[in-house]
Amino acid sequence: MTARIVQANNTPFNRVTVDPITLDIVENALRNARNEMDAVLFRTAMSPGIREQHDAFPLIANEEGKMVVGQFGSFLHGFMQGYEGTIEDGDVFITNDPYSCNGAVSHLNDWLLMMPVFHDGRLVSWAAMFGHMTDVGGKVPGSLPTDAKMIFEEGIIVPPTKIYRDGKLIDELLNLLLHNTRMPEWNKSDFFAIIAALRLAERRVRENIVRFGVDTYISAMHDMLDRNKVAMGAIIQMIIPESKAYFEDWIDDDGMGNGPYKIACTLWREGEIAYFDFTGSDPQSFSSINFLLNEEMFKMFFGAFTINLFDPQILFNDGFYELLDVHIPDGCILKPKKPAALSCRTHMLGRIFDLMGGLLGQGAPDALNAAGFSDSPHFMYSGFDRNGKWYQLFQIGFGGIPGRPAGDGPDGHSLWPAFTNVPNEFLEAYFPLRIREYATIVDSGGAGLHRGGNGITIAYEMLENGEFSIHDDRWLTYPWGVNGGEPGMRSTKRLVRTDGTEENIPSKCDRVQVQPGDILYFNTWGGGGWGNPLERDAELVAADVARGLVSEQGARRYGVVISQGQLDNTGTSKLRQEMAQTQSSPELFDRGFSSIEELKQRCESETGFAPPVAPVFRQHYERAAER
């Protein structure tokens, strides 16, 4: 069954011709409304993940549920497939269950709220937004247990449900949800902040209808979808060849001693249709690193990736979806079977972007990005302070963006362009933490004509007894370089106790006990380099050294000699000549290793520690496949 729309007025809409000026006015009005939704949310939410880091994704869709403006693509297709009730004026729906909405959201922390917008008894639009809640219950603070084997261990599960009916809040349901979280005040504030953003979007939709008429408004939205389809069709024809391209990448481990896990995809084009086939990806994991990748969500990822890469002026929406055909095998790590755990899906989700870069770059090497900060590492710190009050932090880490055809990758940035960092002053004011260091990691970006961005180090000094959890990746495999660029540096986590002893912390772990004075060094990875490092302007390398982004020794990777802080032109010319004579023809991708054993040895030699877990490399799971 699918959802049934209840309308007092079933008169069909008339598709009319919208002149270009009116179309631009409607488009910009909706763009502004989408930005206003964010502004309302960020000014009224309480959790730092939403308020400060902006881990929320809004959209305004047409009457069919296709996103017209937004940030993350439409969640409504999966919702309407999974919801079996009625959709009526005054309703607002909530869900956080990936299995009930075909992966429209991908783990339980994301509360998705959807509001149908009616006008004169007819459904004319949708407003929707989801935000990451700091806690939704489950076995660990933060609700992201590494060792969960079933989704039931990860928190309260909400199927698509009406939270407002006929415009009235269903208080009992909201109270039930808040009763199952460690942070009810934050969740309540964030919930109503999202509702306020949806109400804002509803007002803006109705203002457009009053100004232009309902048929013009509906037709303008369809025209915006059509324009996107035409623009994306041209990009697909330009960058995707008819011959098949194959690429694979990995996440390093599952936090339970197994890994790395492969995702694989084959890409080709037939006529105007691009085909993505994920056959060859590993079976689902027994831990929580599985990612339920909705086919529509992957189309959204592809659109966001290609538009930002090739033409950011294109309005990102769902108009191009019929130009893609996506196949994801059942039971693989990208389409696990219920009740597989999903809470730590962020690593696989992020790695999809590296995978797309590797696939698309084979058809257009000059437009190829290196691998970069393809993740949203989580740091969670919680406990009772000396006054018996519960504290709980959820924070997303940033790292090095890859080198690109257009230039260097930014240092210490997020996978998601709209995310921002939590200010250190905010952390120190609201949590028992002191930030001892916050800086880029010198030389962590891959060398290249265009340098990969550096990762960052954050030194957290704990001021109270408590525990922390970490969810990160790329401690083993490198963020690869391209077109002669070198790989970026990997991530490390180091805990220095008050007695001076040091511990290497795995990239995925829960409930690490800490005491006042313990310091965690949370070091993220850099981006891969783009192009031959010997072709980089020596003055740029000298400037990087002066800014503390590259060391004097690191400058020699570019064939640049820095002596006492000054560029040595004679020494640079000589060194570059020597390096050019021994330089082999670059491969398209430089992964930084040729075997797993070599990789493990290099990990230990570079970090001073053995790999933080002992993975069973390339282990497959027949039981998972059977399930």
Model confidence band, residue 603 (pLDDT cutoffs 50, 70, 90): low
Residue 309 lies in a domain: no
In this prediction, residues 518-526 reach a mean pLDDT of 97
Is residue 431 scored above 60 in pLDDT? Answer: yes
Is residue 1 scored above 60 in pLDDT? Answer: no
In this prediction, residues 212-216 reach a mean pLDDT of 97
Residue among 150, 121, 348, 361 nearest 253 (CA): 348
pTM attached to this predicted model:
0.92
My answer on whether 454 and 541 are in the same domain is no
**pLDDT recorded at residue 615:** 37
Q: What is the pLDDT of residues 281-315, one digit of tens each?
A: 999 999 999 999 989 889 988 998 888 877 888 89
Mean pLDDT of all residues belonging to the chain = 92
**pLDDT recorded at residue 379:** 96
Is residue 597 scored above 80 in pLDDT? Answer: no
Residue 164 lies in a domain: yes
Residue 158 lies in a domain: yes
Q: Which domain holds residue 560?
A: 536-582
Q: What is the pLDDT of residues 468-516, one digit of tens each?
A: 999 999 998 999 999 999 999 999 999 999 999 999 999 999 999 999 9
My answer on whether 464 and 573 are in the same domain is no
**pLDDT recorded at residue 177:** 98
Q: What is the pLDDT of residues 439-457, one digit of tens each?
A: 999 999 999 999 999 999 9
**Of 165, 197, 227, at which residue does a domain stop?**
227
**pLDDT recorded at residue 463:** 98
The C-alpha atoms of residue 193 and residue 131 are separated, in whole angstroms, by 10
Residue 410 lies in a domain: yes
Model confidence band, residue 3 (pLDDT cutoffs 50, 70, 90): confident
HSE at residue 452, side-chain half, CA atoms within 13 A, is 40
Model confidence band, residue 593 (pLDDT cutoffs 50, 70, 90): confident
In this prediction, residues 560-568 reach a mean pLDDT of 94
Residue 376 lies in a domain: yes
My answer on whether 56 and 190 are in the same domain is yes
Which DSSP symbol is given to 77? H
My answer on whether 451 and 484 are in the same domain is yes
**pLDDT recorded at residue 607:** 55
My answer on whether 595 and 573 are in the same domain is no
My answer on whether 80 and 200 are in the same domain is yes
**Of 171, 203, 227, at which residue does a domain stop?**
227
**Of 563, 582, 601, at which residue does a domain stop?**
582
My answer on whether 442 and 512 are in the same domain is yes
**pLDDT recorded at residue 419:** 85
Q: What total number of domains does the chain contain?
A: 3
The C-alpha atoms of residue 488 and residue 592 are separated, in whole angstroms, by 9
**pLDDT recorded at residue 39:** 96
Residue 541 lies in a domain: yes
My answer on whether 127 and 212 are in the same domain is yes
Who has greater pLDDT, 307 or 141?
A: 141
My answer on whether 573 and 427 are in the same domain is no
**pLDDT recorded at residue 71:** 79
User: Backbone phi, then psi, for 254, in 5-degree steps?
Assistant: -110, 10
Is residue 361 scored above 60 in pLDDT? Answer: yes
Is residue 412 scored above 70 in pLDDT? Answer: yes
How many residues are recorded in the chain? 627
The C-alpha atoms of residue 261 and residue 610 are separated, in whole angstroms, by 20
Task: Name every residue whose Cβ is closer than 8 Å to that of residue 402 and which is 6 or more positions away in sequence.
Answer: 357, 369, 370, 371, 372, 373, 409, 446, 452, 453, 479, 488, 527, 528, 530
**pLDDT recorded at residue 604:** 66
**pLDDT recorded at residue 614:** 36
- % of the chain surpassing 70 pLDDT: 95
My answer on whether 526 and 545 are in the same domain is no
Question: What's the 3-state SS for 484-546?
Answer: CCCCCCCCEEEEECCCCCEEECCCEEEEEEECCCCEEEEECCCCCCECCHHHCCHHHHHHHHH
Report whether 359 contacts 247 (CB < 8 A): yes
My answer on whether 432 and 546 are in the same domain is no
In this prediction, residues 536-565 reach a mean pLDDT of 96
Residue 142 lies in a domain: yes
Residue 166 lies in a domain: yes
Question: What's the 3-state SS for 416-485?
Answer: CCCCCCCCHHHHHHHCCEEEEEEEECCCCCCCCCECCCCCEEEEEEECCCEEEEEECCCCCCCCCEECCC
**pLDDT recorded at residue 618:** 34
My answer on whether 461 and 560 are in the same domain is no
**pLDDT recorded at residue 297:** 87
